[in-house]
Chain A
Amino acid sequence: MNLGSASGRRYYALPLMLFVLPFFTVQAQTTKEDREKEYEIIEVGDEKGETVRLYGTIKSAENNEYLIGATIRIKNMGTGAITDQQGGYSITLSKGNVSVEVSYAGFNTLNINLNLRSSTILNVNLTSSDLQLDEIVVKDANSLDTPAGRTVMQINTIRELPAFMGEVDIIRSLLTQPGVSTVGEGASGFNVRGGKIDQNLVLLDDAPVFNPSHVFGFFSSFSGDAVQRLELFKSGIPSRYGGRASSILDVALKEGDYKKFRLSGGIGLISAKLTVEGPLVKGKGAFIVSGRRSFSDYLLGVANNQDLRNSSASFEDVTAKLSFRLNDRNKLRVSAYTSRDDFSLASDTSFAWTNRLVSVQWNSFITKKISSQVTAFVSEYDLQLEGESNTEPFTLRSGVLNYAIKAGFGLHPNESLDLDFGVDVNEIVIEPGDLRPTGEASPVLPINIQDETGRELSFFGDSEIRLSPRFVVNAGLRFVQFWNVGERDVFVFEPGEPRTISSIRDTLQFESGEVIQSYSILEPRVSFRLKLDDISAIKGSYDRLGQFTHLISNTAASSPIDVWKLSNEVLKPLVNNQLSIGYTRNLKNRKYEVSVELYYKQMDELIEYKDGAQLLTNEVLETELLVGEGRSYGSEFSLRKTNGRLTGWINYTYSRSEARVDDPVQRQAINRGEYFPSNFDKPHDLSIFIKYPLSKRLIMSANFSYSTGRPITEPVTRNLIDGFLVLNYSDRNQFRIPDFHRLDVSFTIQPPEKQNKRFQGTWTFGAYNLYGRKNPFSVFFRSGNEFTLPKAFRLSVLGSIFPFLTYNFKLN
């Protein structure tokens, strides 16, 4: 290694910081402050009737952060609520004695007995829990009070899942949940209920992240230390969300500690991370900065390919959040995130991609019954591809820029009704590709694909109507107006003719801001929760979602060079209609929770690619695309054990995802216009997770996954064309690769109880793919020659056991 090089210095910087920062932090640490009281009770109403409202907020006693998704359970009435985006909740109850349990993963559960005589505000400050070895509670399940189609995962649960190379992985953790799958190991993104990966809106503190993957798709680009929780909406999607057809993944970043400086970090086989947080402006504000960087090309070093051993890969991400309590009613948060990946191959190509975003949230309680939230963000994704060959050096750059402002208001007119409404203004600019020769001698011709600009204006309104303590209806409506605007040249194809270069009849020039095409979509969203008794509930929903931004890909897994595309004069917006119904039941005094959900989705204007499509730097991409429809349906079963020494879940999904393309304009059908399985159609999907404390300090967790092999296209005959033996392939996706299964285990050694509590170190070790199964990512074929038969090969992306070891520490 060249120690004098810039890259060499980078490798040494992080360990140095790890040693220096603790000293800095200890000196800056504030004195210990008294704990705030755990809860406050304020009687506010004077109701004559039998029903009253119990409402308030749930916060973290450590940092005053509102806890989103905390559970409030009225134990003697079998009802409850989950806190909303602002940590608030509201429950309609009968007057009398109630036993309230407030819980949140990673915090001590609080029990309060109240005699409700009138509507009452109950504000709770939960204290974070030390590990409870004999009773670890999983609070992420679909409880009776969680709306249909929603999965909430706390970061503590995500940490417990054994992860590839020990890297706590936000996105991969979702794959253990019903209805969420991936096309294969190492693939970027995830598929929700049969939707493509671009149909998921990934939000980080309300700003979209366009490529949430490190090292192509092996790791998520969010560091676990910066994330508080994530919430996945598969159905029952509130109308404040829009823009993607299948799901919303809302990732909330942690807030810094308002009282004390804290330092935490960790080191694993490939990366190190460090988080520092603390108060600002005399406790009125807080900051948190969390960074992670790979420090080792360990993975490449063990590759069995000489080129890869000579290659380099690195990634880094930094998250920062500032929070200010302006006064009792106003709060301001500023979040920033950046991630970068560099990959350079020994031969002649290097990739670099970055996500950058900043979002600002201003929350205000205007009156007791009116609140507001204003959010603005800028989010950017950039890809740079360098071809460094001697004969044809080039640089290809592409990117997406998205910025928006959203204002939402919450009204709580009475105990049985909550209203949310607002407006969302959004602009997105896509730079599909700018190819330039590198240097004067390069023969590469420059290509600059025209930028596309889209503007969206959305109005949304949600209502939560509590018709009775047992029956809650959410009804919402979102109206979206989309404009595809100039400056851009628009190719006019011969009407009725397939879109080809030769069928372009005219080119229209549109000025900057001039409307090229507009669409409007009305998106009703309705869901309900009906408690049949204290232990069971039925839930259902209808969702309609439109999508104007598409990721065009013709590969099995999405790659960084896939092309983003807006709905335009040719491609209409994708519209998804989904019906979902579910049943949840608690068994054995809430020790077990069982649920089943059924869904059916119909997708119109689904974009598919032509056989043999050429997508990269294609100036008229529409000539390579076909339009069809999709459908997916399935049933999701979940059994969770939430109490006791052994906890965990068994999630099983049976689902199908299919597409049909019979494009009359293109005069081209795929598989003769019949439904065919999508690339990620995996009917059976099973995930089993258990966690068991072997001793007071040693905790074991294990994860088993099984799924049907994904569909592939296989050769059925072979031909001789101009001297070349050519395999002739079947209809699209008519065969399947062998099934997938994998077992991962992880052991965590907690610090001894006697250790100084200001410093806590935790070791985690384990193995990913314990029995080293060579799970095929794909099966491919070589045509052979006149003397040999075609051969089939199995590619296993992670085809052996991967042990891992990580050390994490906290300094309080």
Chain B
Amino acid sequence: MNKVILCLVCFMFSCIDEIPFSRTSGNLEDIVIDGFITDQQEPYRVRLSRAVRVTTLQNNFRPVEKAEVKIEDDTGLVVQLNETSPGIYQTDTAQMRGEVGRSYRLNVRTADNSTYQSTWQKMLPVVKMDTLFFEVEDYVETFTNLNGSTVEIDRNRLKMLAGINTTGSDAGFYRVKTRQIEEILTSTLACCSQCWVIFEFPDVNIILVDGTRFRGQQLVNVGTVSYTQLSEYFIEVELLSLSQEAFDFWNVVKEQRSINGSIFDPLPSTLRGNIEKIGSDEVVTGFFSASASAKRSMIIDRSNISPPPKAGVTLREGDCRAISGATTEKPDVFN
């Protein structure tokens, strides 16, 4: 609890320097299995890949192709997933729909005949998300300019808060994911001045909620939205129930990503998931989870917020399609 704050303590007299790092060891055959099932009518996806060296710039995670991937439930129903793109396996929406209270298990057989199996994961209920709103938050952006001096700019941004009601005996563990789409407006007179960018990985941080530690409504910071444009912004917040095992796994991932070298940091460790290789004690990285889902979304009209952007509005010019990931096709959520 508040470990991040505790971690700051050691910086009283400390300094941090980057040092060369050129580790080239590590087993590149280590498999990563990562998948989920929810109670939503949607394809459930499992991704199989191999690790890359820490010194590899391109994240060419080698896909594990031509594997036999199955999800089974506790009624005996077994569904095979189809490889829709290299290393990505999906269910057919009509084949299976997750149900709260049911348990699910992942089975994988790779082309080299290695078999992997997850533990049974019971799909636990999810609690309500009562509210979703934002607050304008001031912050100082610091960067180094071309002549090496540090520049500080006072800015503001939108801090997104979700009210999660953890009252009740079914309070458990949750993970928050978001889906974000930004409307892009440019000043060009020719085609095209209105686009939308759907962010593939909108979440900078792993957001976890331990509902067993709180009562009543808890306000969870689910991320920030930039406030340098006055266009519309769509954000959908999804709350996913987790087993304690899954919560612990994601908590370790989160802690390892937030290590700052403090003397009170938890020591990093080998990441263990809930999947094991049959007949071997090889550590398999990744997790197969079963989650119930609750969603809440809003469209933010940034032209109608007080106070205005602190550092002004960043002007964009030219064809908006030149922006990475932009499309001129208006997403349904804006209709």
Contact = CB atoms under 8 A, between A and B. Distances in A.
Interface of A: 184, 186-187, 216-217, 299-300, 302-305, 307-308, 313, 343, 345, 347-349, 385, 387, 391-392, 394, 396, 443-445, 447, 501, 554-557, 559, 561, 611-614, 616-617, 669, 672, 679, 713-732, 774, 777-783, 786-800, 802
A348 B285 CA distance: 36
A713 B267 contact: yes
A345 B11 CA distance: 12
A307 B265 CA distance: 19
A308 B12 contact: yes
Interface residues of B, number: 78
B59 A786 contact: yes
Given A308-B8, A555-B266, A791-B18, A719 B259 contact: no
Contact of B10 (A348, A716, A787, A797): A797
11 contacts: A216-B263, A345-B5, A445-B213, A555-B267, A559-B6, A717-B27, A781-B259, A782-B259, A789-B57, A793-B18, A794-B18
A308 B61 CA distance: 41
A793 B19 contact: yes
B253 A726 contact: yes
A727 B267 contact: no
B51 A728 contact: yes
A717 B263 contact: no
Interface in B278-328: 281, 285-287
Contacts of B16: 793-796
A783 B15 CA distance: 20
B68 interface: no
Given A308-B8, A555-B263, A786-B59, A299 B13 contact: yes
Contacts of A713: 267-269
B267 A679 contact: yes
Contact of B212 (A305, A391, A445, A799): A445
A391 B135 CA distance: 14
A385 B15 CA distance: 26
B18 A792 contact: yes
Contacts of A307: 8
Nearest to B5: A349
Contact of B49 (A611, A720, A730): A720
Contacts of A555: 263-267
Given A794-B17, A795-B16, A717 B11 contact: no
Contact of A216 (B9, B212, B213): B9
Contacts of B54: 715-718, 727, 781, 789-790
Contacts of A724: 201, 206, 253, 257
Contact of B267 (A303, A391, A554, A794): A554
Interface of B: 1-2, 5-6, 8-21, 23, 25-28, 30, 32, 34, 36, 47, 49, 51-57, 59, 61, 166, 200-201, 203, 206, 212-219, 244, 248-249, 251-253, 255-257, 259-272, 281, 285-287
B253 A721 contact: yes
B214 A445 contact: yes
A797 B47 CA distance: 41
Given A307-B8, A445-B215, A799-B15, A556 B265 contact: yes
Interface centre among B9, B215, B262, B267 (most CB of A within 10 A): B267
Instruction: Give me the 9 closest cross-chain CB pairs, A-B, nearest first.
Output: A716-B26, A792-B21, A611-B269, A795-B261, A717-B51, A612-B252, A780-B261, A717-B26, A557-B263
Given A778-B265, A795-B14, A796-B17, A730 B270 contact: yes
Contacts of A557: 263-264
B283 to A, nearest CB: 9
B26 A728 contact: yes
- Residue among B15, B49, B214, B215 facing the most chain A CB atoms (10 A cut-off): B15
Contacts of B21: 781, 790-792
A617 B214 CA distance: 13
Contacts of B216: 443
Contacts of B248: 612, 614
Contacts of A798: 13-14
Contacts of A556: 263-265, 267
B2 A444 contact: no
Contact of B19 (A444, A614, A788, A794): A794
A645 B171 CA distance: 73
A616 B251 CA distance: 14
B253 A774 contact: no
Given A561-B6, A717-B26, A612 B269 contact: yes
Q: Most B CB atoms within 10 A — which of A186, A714, A726? A: A726
A216 B9 CA distance: 9
Contact of B201 (A303, A343, A345, A723): A723
Contacts of A786: 59
Interface centre among B10, B11, B32, B215 (most CB of A within 10 A): B10
B5 A348 contact: yes
B263 A778 contact: yes
A347 B5 contact: yes
Contacts of A349: 2, 5-6
Nearest to B256: A727
Contacts of A444: 213-215
